[in-house]
Structure 1
Amino acid sequence: MRNLDVTTLRSFVAVAELGGVTRAAGVLNLTQSAVSMQLKRLEELLGVPLMDRSNRAIGLTAAGEQLLSYARRIVDLNDEVMARLTDQVFEGEIVLGVPHDIVYPAVPQVLQRFATQFPRMKVNLVTSFTRELKAQFRRGECDVILTTEAGLDIGGETLTTKPLKWIGAPGGSAWKQRPLRLAFGRFCIFRAGAIAALGEAGVDWEMAVETESDRTIEATVSADLAIHTMIEGTEPRHLEQIDHGGQLPDLTVQQINMYASDKGRKEVMRHLTDMLRQAFKMM
């Protein structure tokens, strides 16, 4: 009887999801050679090639794609069993602060995985602006925060760097109007840069909506009454990036940063931060 090794399957899943051995090795805290050896061992065990190495970017073969869904389930089931039977010391609450506009799509996936592995740990999700989240973190009110910033403070870690994009209603025409109608929060960190870019490009604009409610902004933009800016890949399904063909100025890039304080719960916090790190690298 041949048995699959969970550690090897975990490496296979990481390589498939992150798109390469180097990034997977960083997340798994292994050397590249160790991950490559595990992949080779898995292919030898199954007797089929799992990775398509014909291009510079590693892809999956048909057999690899078939194995991936099984491997995810096996790894998740293994983690759930271990958590259920050995999680007695992992009880309590972690407060996670995230800006509203980067909650999707990564954070719900992380919360689901974390709850499976640590069912007795409660994650209290707090959404606010970057400035307020950093203030709460300094006061010890949040254990982990994510931020959107142009730079990085001491003690932080940049998870990914993404460009800002103009966002509008699907198939909308609000971006063609002049003066250009904008919808922004009063404390939105992207607001000043967007206005400066419009000024440099000579695009007339007016503030159609100025609010503290992200839902109000989304409703206005989805009604094609104004446009907004968001980090690439974080726009909700009812909004889309505007294909303006150069009629709107390019925007700056933003860093998604993470700041964490273990407060004596190093192991469980390490798991949560690893999950966040992996999820945002996949964006």
Structure 2
Amino acid sequence: MRNLDITTLRSFVAVADSGGVTRAAGFLHLTQSAVSMQLKRLEELLGLALLDRSGRTIALTASGEQLLVYARRMVALNDEVIGRLTDQAYEGEIVLGVPHDIVYPAIPQVLKQFHAAFPRVKVQLVSSYTRALKEKFGRGECDLILTTETSVDPGAQTLCHKPLRWIGAPGGAAWRQKPLKLAFGRLCTFRPRVIEALDAANIAWDVIVETESDRTIEATVSADLAVHTMIEGTEPPHLERIEHAGALPDLAMQMINLYGAQTKKGVVHDTLADFLRRSFSSMETARLRAG
């Protein structure tokens, strides 16, 4: 009888999510050779090639894709069992700050995973703008924060790069109007760079909505009264990416950065940081494969 090892499956999932052995080893706090050996043993146990190593990044074979579905479930179930039976040692609260625009789709899954591992630990989710979150973090009001920036401060870690896209109403025409009507948050870090790009392209613009409410922006844009910008993949289903064929300027690539994880602060803190790394690193892997 052959038995799959959870530690080996965890390494396999980490490699699949991060797109490489080196990054996976960092997430798992193992050496690169240890992770490579685990993957080799897993392939030998199953008698299957799970990884295609011929490209610039490691890709999964058809068998690897199939195993990944089961491996995620087995690792998650293992963590849930351990968490349920040993959670008495871990109680309290951890504060996580996330910009409004990247809460979906990654954060709900991270919170679900974390709750399964530490059901008695409360995660206080603070959703705000990058600037405000960095101020809170500087005052010690958040344990971990994510940010969306075009650079990274010393001590932070860049989890992935995502392009900024023009967003409008499905089938809308607001992007064709002159001047271009914009809807933005008052503290939105994208706004200055978007306006700079429009000015450089000699495109007239007018901010018709300036608010602290994301719902106000979404309502205005979905009514086809203005356009907005969002990180690719975070747009809600009632809005869509504008296919402008070059009529609007390209926008800067954004970094999603993690602050507060540069030093180990205990299993609860470090586990939440690892869940965040894996979730956003899988987005980076998907972007590289698509590119």
TM range (shorter): over 0.9
**Contact 1:12/1:39, CA 8 A, preserved across alignment:** yes
Between 1:155-164 and 1:98-107, the stretch displaced more is 155-164
- In the TM superposition, what whole-angstrom CA distance separates every residue of 1:39-92 from its partner, at most 9, and x where no partner exists? 121121122222234544433333322222221111111111111222222100
Structure 1: 5+ residue runs without aligned partners? none
Q: State the match for 1:95 in structure 2.
A: 95
Give 1:160's aligned amino acid.
C
**Contact 2:157/2:262, CA 8 A, preserved across alignment:** no
Q: State the match for 2:194 in structure 1.
A: 194
Name the CA distance, whole Å, in 1 between partners of 2:230 and 2:278: 21
Q: State the match for 1:273 in structure 2.
A: 273
State the 1:215 CA deviation.
0.7
Stretches of 4+ moved more than 4 A in 1? 261-265
Q: State the match for 2:183 in structure 1.
A: 183
State the 1:139 CA deviation.
2.2
1:134-173 superposed matches below 5 A: 134-173=134-173
TM-score by length of 2: 0.90
Match status 1:218 vs 2:218: yes
Cα distance, 1:223–1:117 mapped onto 2, change above 3 Å: same
Give 1:144's aligned amino acid.
L
User: What secondary structure sits across from 2:44 in the alignment?
Assistant: helix
Name the CA distance, whole Å, in 1 between partners of 2:53 and 2:156: 35
Name the CA distance, whole Å, in 2 between partners of 1:23 and 1:153: 20
1:117-136 superposed matches below 5 A: 117-136=117-136
Q: State the match for 2:41 in structure 1.
A: 41
**Contact 1:84/1:119, CA 8 A, preserved across alignment:** yes
Q: State the match for 1:207 in structure 2.
A: 207
Between 1:233-242 and 1:201-210, the stretch displaced more is 233-242
Structure 2: 5+ residue runs without aligned partners? 284-291
Between 1:94-103 and 1:63-72, the stretch displaced more is 63-72
Cα distance, 1:39–1:104 mapped onto 2, change above 3 Å: same
User: What secondary structure sits across from 2:166 in the alignment?
Assistant: strand
Match status 1:58 vs 2:58: yes
Q: State the match for 1:248 in structure 2.
A: 248
User: What secondary structure sits across from 1:207 in the alignment?
Assistant: strand
User: What secondary structure sits across from 1:159 in the alignment?
Assistant: strand
State the 1:186 CA deviation.
1.3
Cα distance, 1:84–1:131 mapped onto 2, change above 3 Å: same
**Contact 1:151/1:255, CA 8 A, preserved across alignment:** yes
Name the CA distance, whole Å, in 2 between partners of 1:194 and 1:51: 40
User: What secondary structure sits across from 1:94 in the alignment?
Assistant: strand
Give 1:122's aligned amino acid.
K
State the 1:261 CA deviation.
7.1
Count of equivalent residues? 283
Give 2:41's aligned amino acid.
R
Give 2:34's aligned amino acid.
A
Name the CA distance, whole Å, in 2 between partners of 1:109 and 1:12: 19
Q: State the match for 2:288 in structure 1.
A: none
User: What secondary structure sits across from 1:71 in the alignment?
Assistant: helix
- In the TM superposition, what whole-angstrom CA distance separates every residue of 1:154-197 from its partner, at most 9, and x where no partner exists? 43222223232211122322111111110001111111111111
User: What secondary structure sits across from 1:282 in the alignment?
Assistant: helix
**Contact 1:143/1:262, CA 8 A, preserved across alignment:** no
Q: State the match for 2:287 in structure 1.
A: none
Name the CA distance, whole Å, in 1 between partners of 2:263 and 2:255: 25
Name the CA distance, whole Å, in 1 between partners of 2:157 and 2:62: 36
TM-score by length of 1: 0.92
Q: State the match for 2:8 in structure 1.
A: 8
State the 1:6 CA deviation.
0.7
Match status 1:25 vs 2:30: no
- In the TM superposition, what whole-angstrom CA distance separates every residue of 1:227-271 from its partner, at most 9, and x where no partner exists? 111122322232222221111112222222222279995221111
Q: State the match for 1:239 in structure 2.
A: 239
- In the TM superposition, what whole-angstrom CA distance separates every residue of 1:11-55 from its partner, at most 9, and x where no partner exists? 111222333323322222223332222112112112222223454
**Contact 2:50/2:61, CA 8 A, preserved across alignment:** yes
Give 1:118's aligned amino acid.
F
User: What secondary structure sits across from 1:4 in the alignment?
Assistant: coil
Identity %: 69
Q: State the match for 2:105 in structure 1.
A: 105
